[in-house]
Structure 1
């Protein structure tokens, strides 16, 4: 009966509601036929010749709109639908309209709904005494209450709501316009706005205010940060944020734009205060990335500030060396090319930018060839070019903090050619052979007596590496992989009499244990015969537990000496002398999210040279991470005292709605805290409140310790997404 009634009703509605449709189509030949309407009901009958009545589980579908009601009466004389509720109207999956009764035109684009409620994005609700719908675009609501909080049938008001005399919802522009609006918390009026505009939840970007925050700092005083977002177009926007405190006035800016072939983003601020060396302080950071010339990637990065302590005073960034760079790069399967110009600026106390290499250029090209005559091997051709320039014109040599520090400029070029080949030997031993030659040329200006003005060195290389992976696996049992590795290499030539500007800090780890040189740049190379050996063990358990351990060491036939007779490697690098320290590294991963990682260097008496460890654990309720580093005293690396530090970072979901967080950085060597912070966040389906406090304990001649406290309140549903349903309150509680 329901199907027969649906067909009967469909025929009647098409005949009664659209008598001129066929004539219009035949008369003009241009008007598209109207989309068909589909109505389904339990019972259908006629009242006279003008009224068609459908009752019982009525559904109407027309042009993407689905209407459900207990009853529908179509009045042909007035050309309207009379609806009896409960009424539910679904519009394209973005919003749902609920009502008790109403009247609408036959296209469902205009009409009046009484006792109406609109639900947007499954969380924002607009409850009104009456809803007037027009042109299928505008919904005008009278005597409205708007909230994204869960509303239960207990009579209790929502946590927050906006009461308004009238609200107009523009469905095309996705905007809500309020008249005579009151913002209420627990039904208590907080403030009044004669006009208010808010985006509906389906709109991703719209001009308007973002979440404000209260701020208190021992340096800046008490203030308010109010960001205002300006949508310039579909692909660009500007955020203007006035930040006013009792001791400063700041204007923060952020500009973003997306292009067909790339993007740019700039941010900055300008402040008027009396905290620094000048009254007007500011910074600009910017970055961008573009695809150019078909398959090249062009990147730029700008970082500049006019006061050394500005970034830390306002908690923008903790960088103490800024770098601005312009780079172009292309990477393919068998070729790579890159060029970059970088400008460095130091904010550190005691460093003079005039005697630091502030302008640095790099160019790199590499090509892989797979010729048949190479016996299945591979040929690699490469070229490197580098230069760094100091602005100082001084020639005398000295430490950077000295007035008479040098101003030498260095340029180098390296051309290399290598042949590589892999074999699988009997027993599963993997053999790797590499041989080649590199030519390094250096040009030094303002060198004085510290080095030659130019030098060229030829460095032939031969390398043999053997790996023997061994696997022990069984059904349902843990899998063990043991791999002993040994490498023999020889590098000819000698390090010329040139300054060491690039390879001053060397890290010895698993990544370069089996390299022919541990130096970070070709201004230094390890020479002579070198043997590297090590072993790695990895265990995979079906329960998710994974354990790995690696050990290795280097042995040379000669000490890597500088022209002044000193070892090229510092004592804390673990690489000085003929025999290196023992490198030990391990990691443990469990199936419940715990990860432990540690690495250390140990000398021949098993004393620690360097050590670091990190532990992290994360699940649905908590996250915890801890890091420890230990670096011994080494004047050659400008480290007058031992560094021993702990860093902790943790968060824990205390309950359904409360989350706590904490961080702490502690200097064990000096027995002082470096930085600490605490935070607590309350989150439910309609609001997020975060209170955070942090303390920076470090100080210098230009930097003072500071304490910062911030409070941020965000209305979820309008300003933030609520995809995480675990915060939604239950009406049973």
Structure 2
């Protein structure tokens, strides 16, 4: 029967009575004379969350020491495990020596030593050490190990200091370092080097990136990454800061390379902050020294940059939004002066529930588009619009299951136009609209539990425009889809409006399968009293009759999603088509998309677009995984980009190998091939979880 005793209660009553005294549990406890306590059999010592297990412990009062016989196991509150054959410690387990010892950190990194000295309850000094996180099978050397003359483990700072260290692979010395500092695996943030990356491109040659992470307190840090190759000298930077009310992140780089004269650089920064009265402040900055820099170095594939500041406040019944955006084009066939480069908007919306029923929405807005050029016409036009809108909507359930909806709207816009003689300088426009919708949903459930909902819908609307014609700045790209089949206007912005009479008819069939599979099929068409020349030929909306819209979606519990859409004319020829299929589970992540668009010079598309893209990831087993991406231009019969990444991972090593090719070219950029290689050792990376599966030892 085990006996519970206070280790120091008999021998040192003053200390034993103090807070945090050590506690002894053993099968037998005996006094040897007046100054020795001997505990034997299943011995455990507990002190401030630290637990020591041993075969026997002898406490000697004159020397105030514990002599411990093993096997010994010490577990600390942070998960560290110490094992040893023999030990000589103080009663509080803060100072002493362990022989033939092994230290295990966070169940990842194990360090074996001939001797471990414990000092001040903070430092462990390990002599003649071998450190590894790899599986050790008999006498066979591990995949990798670090042998050092001495290792000091600072348990407070969670750092490991190696002296006279040799890094070995399968027992073969690879390199030597006189001193080395590494974080232990329980540390989440620490100043030091991160995982290096090798990068090789046909433009920049063979190079290496060595990131260095610097903590600037608990809420700030910066990462500096020198990138050196035969063709470039680059310094990359990432700065992060967390505030009580938001976050800030900035990344950028500066380069001196052989591709262009002079220095090259870029800066991307973004911030998100919560302000009083439920207001959010968001901003981002995007700038680059030349159009090719981002693609040359693989930082981004954007061909237009946008820097913006935005204020947003949303409540149950109101919305306020103010934003200012600056655009910078990287396209060879565009200029910043004519984009327009500066766009600003101010909008307020209020929703009311009037006593006479329905929902009343009031809106006021101001927006402007400014160009640097003073040329007369599209390249120099500056436009400012101030407008308001009143919208009322209500619906009723009528006989035989019909649902009727009535909507009325009145818009007023005042335009001020400069540097374009084809428009009046100031013009007022008023647009009244009214619409009625009738839906007739049918529903049924089969004996198997599958539910079907079929909803035919008819929509009729009228609107007119009184006043002048305004320039169209924000509605130049419009598409016909299931979201705007029954809408007053299918223009994307405020500058253009649909006028005249229109009727839309459609049907939606939704199936809720008993096994969790949900599918939806929608088709419909619009008939109008007059054609609108603002719609482009490929939008599906030009003319008095729209294309036929067919749209379908399928989702399954196993992570499968299918979404397709197509526009057909009366001759059953496709005008636009797009589809995406995705499937994701623990072993597979697959996404494939296809798009087809007819040639349309009004959208600056002189050739047919027919492309597919694939992004896929496969976990072949616990050790190997593969990621692939590709984009192919079917119309031009040529690839656009392609890439593959392979990862091999076991319990102590992670290796990533990648290769990619960008085939696109322009006067600003050239095709690029990139190869990458990086690796990491489990057990030293701050904040990383354990490695992959452990290797099995042969029987």
Interval of TM-score (by shorter of Structure 1 and Structure 2) = over 0.9
| Corresponding residue for residue 331 of structure 2 | 348
1:155 to 139, 144, 158: 139
Q: What are the ranges of 5 or more consecutive residues in structure 2 without an aligned counterpart? A: none
Whole-angstrom CA distance in 2 between matches of 1:695 and 1:605: 40
2:30 to 23, 45, 63: 45
Q: Contact 1:390–1:408 (CA<8 Å) still a contact in 2?
A: yes
Q: Contact 2:384–2:415 (CA<8 Å) still a contact in 1?
A: yes
Q: Contact 1:42–1:58 (CA<8 Å) still a contact in 2?
A: yes
1:666 to 621, 632, 635: 632
CA deviation after TM superposition for structure 1 residue 47, in Å: 1.5
1:713 to 676, 679, 689: 679
1:698 to 654, 661, 664: 664
Asked if 1:383 is matched to 2:364, the reply is yes
Whole-angstrom CA distance in 2 between matches of 1:556 and 1:419: 23
Asked if 1:644 is matched to 2:648, the reply is no
CA shift in 2, pair 1:510/1:212, >3 Å: same
| Corresponding residue for residue 452 of structure 2 | 480
Whole-angstrom CA distance in 2 between matches of 1:133 and 1:234: 29
Whole-angstrom CA distance in 1 between matches of 2:549 and 2:182: 60
| Corresponding residue for residue 438 of structure 1 | 411
Q: Contact 1:600–1:611 (CA<8 Å) still a contact in 2?
A: yes
| Corresponding residue for residue 152 of structure 2 | 168
1:521-670 correspondence to structure 2 within 5 Å: 521-560=493-532, 567-670=533-636
Whole-angstrom CA distance in 1 between matches of 2:89 and 2:336: 74
CA shift in 2, pair 1:426/1:726, >3 Å: farther
CA deviation after TM superposition for structure 1 residue 424, in Å: 2.5
1:202 to 183, 186, 199: 186
CA shift in 2, pair 1:57/1:429, >3 Å: farther
Whole-angstrom CA distance in 2 between matches of 1:577 and 1:381: 32
Q: Contact 2:649–2:691 (CA<8 Å) still a contact in 1?
A: no
| Corresponding residue for residue 402 of structure 1 | none
Q: Contact 1:366–1:383 (CA<8 Å) still a contact in 2?
A: yes
SS across alignment from 2:142: coil
Asked if 1:136 is matched to 2:121, the reply is yes
1:59-96 superposed Cα distances (whole Å, 9 cap, x missing partner):
12111111111111121221121111111111114311
CA shift in 2, pair 1:244/1:53, >3 Å: same
| Corresponding residue for residue 563 of structure 1 | none
Whole-angstrom CA distance in 2 between matches of 1:232 and 1:478: 58
Asked if 1:366 is matched to 2:349, the reply is yes
| Corresponding residue for residue 452 of structure 1 | 424
Whole-angstrom CA distance in 2 between matches of 1:553 and 1:71: 88
Asked if 1:424 is matched to 2:394, the reply is no
Whole-angstrom CA distance in 1 between matches of 2:466 and 2:135: 76
Asked if 1:503 is matched to 2:475, the reply is yes
Whole-angstrom CA distance in 1 between matches of 2:616 and 2:70: 52
Whole-angstrom CA distance in 1 between matches of 2:552 and 2:164: 65
SS across alignment from 2:10: helix
Q: Which moved more, 1:676-685 or 1:568-577?
A: 676-685
SS across alignment from 2:9: helix
CA deviation after TM superposition for structure 1 residue 726, in Å: 5.6
Asked if 1:126 is matched to 2:99, the reply is no
1:154-185 superposed Cα distances (whole Å, 9 cap, x missing partner):
22121111111111111111111111111111
Higher relative contact order (CA 8 A, sep 6+): 2
CA shift in 2, pair 1:727/1:480, >3 Å: farther
Q: Which moved more, 1:667-676 or 1:411-420?
A: 411-420
1:512 to 472, 478, 484: 484
1:595-642 superposed Cα distances (whole Å, 9 cap, x missing partner):
222111111111101001112223322222211100100011110000
Q: Contact 2:382–2:419 (CA<8 Å) still a contact in 1?
A: yes
Whole-angstrom CA distance in 2 between matches of 1:720 and 1:478: 51
CA shift in 2, pair 1:36/1:21, >3 Å: closer
1:623-672 superposed Cα distances (whole Å, 9 cap, x missing partner):
22211100100011110000101112222233331222222211111111
CA deviation after TM superposition for structure 1 residue 295, in Å: 2.1
Whole-angstrom CA distance in 2 between matches of 1:495 and 1:151: 84
CA shift in 2, pair 1:732/1:479, >3 Å: farther
The TM-score, its normalising length taken from structure 2, stands at 0.97
CA shift in 2, pair 1:383/1:724, >3 Å: farther
CA shift in 2, pair 1:21/1:66, >3 Å: closer
CA deviation after TM superposition for structure 1 residue 721, in Å: 5.8
1:71-220 correspondence to structure 2 within 5 Å: 71-152=56-137, 154-220=138-204
SS across alignment from 1:78: coil
Whole-angstrom CA distance in 2 between matches of 1:325 and 1:606: 43
Whole-angstrom CA distance in 2 between matches of 1:549 and 1:15: 83
Q: Contact 1:494–1:527 (CA<8 Å) still a contact in 2?
A: no
Q: Which moved more, 1:508-517 or 1:382-391?
A: 508-517
Whole-angstrom CA distance in 1 between matches of 2:53 and 2:16: 26
CA shift in 2, pair 1:194/1:343, >3 Å: same
Whole-angstrom CA distance in 1 between matches of 2:669 and 2:458: 51
1:52-71 correspondence to structure 2 within 5 Å: 52-71=37-56
CA deviation after TM superposition for structure 1 residue 150, in Å: 2.3
SS across alignment from 1:116: strand
| Corresponding residue for residue 27 of structure 1 | none
CA deviation after TM superposition for structure 1 residue 315, in Å: 0.6
Whole-angstrom CA distance in 1 between matches of 2:200 and 2:613: 25
CA deviation after TM superposition for structure 1 residue 299, in Å: 1.0
1:259-278 correspondence to structure 2 within 5 Å: 259-276=243-260, 278=261
CA deviation after TM superposition for structure 1 residue 476, in Å: 3.7
Whole-angstrom CA distance in 1 between matches of 2:167 and 2:467: 74
Asked if 1:687 is matched to 2:671, the reply is no
Q: Contact 1:109–1:135 (CA<8 Å) still a contact in 2?
A: yes
1:322-344 superposed Cα distances (whole Å, 9 cap, x missing partner):
00001111111111101011000
| Corresponding residue for residue 242 of structure 1 | 226
Whole-angstrom CA distance in 2 between matches of 1:237 and 1:150: 34
Q: Contact 1:495–1:525 (CA<8 Å) still a contact in 2?
A: no
How many residues are aligned here? 699
Q: Contact 1:714–1:720 (CA<8 Å) still a contact in 2?
A: no
Asked if 1:394 is matched to 2:375, the reply is yes
1:427-467 superposed Cα distances (whole Å, 9 cap, x missing partner):
4333332222111111101112x222121111122222233
1:521-541 superposed Cα distances (whole Å, 9 cap, x missing partner):
111111122222211112222
Q: Contact 2:9–2:16 (CA<8 Å) still a contact in 1?
A: no
SS across alignment from 2:11: helix
1:481-501 superposed Cα distances (whole Å, 9 cap, x missing partner):
222222222222257322222
Q: Contact 2:652–2:692 (CA<8 Å) still a contact in 1?
A: no
Q: Contact 2:682–2:690 (CA<8 Å) still a contact in 1?
A: no
Q: Contact 1:17–1:106 (CA<8 Å) still a contact in 2?
A: no
Q: Contact 2:186–2:687 (CA<8 Å) still a contact in 1?
A: no
SS across alignment from 1:466: strand
Whole-angstrom CA distance in 2 between matches of 1:633 and 1:270: 40
Runs of 4+ off more than 6 Å: none
SS across alignment from 2:345: strand
| Corresponding residue for residue 340 of structure 2 | 357
1:300-357 superposed Cα distances (whole Å, 9 cap, x missing partner):
1000011110000011100000000011111111111010110000000111111220
Q: Contact 1:14–1:37 (CA<8 Å) still a contact in 2?
A: no
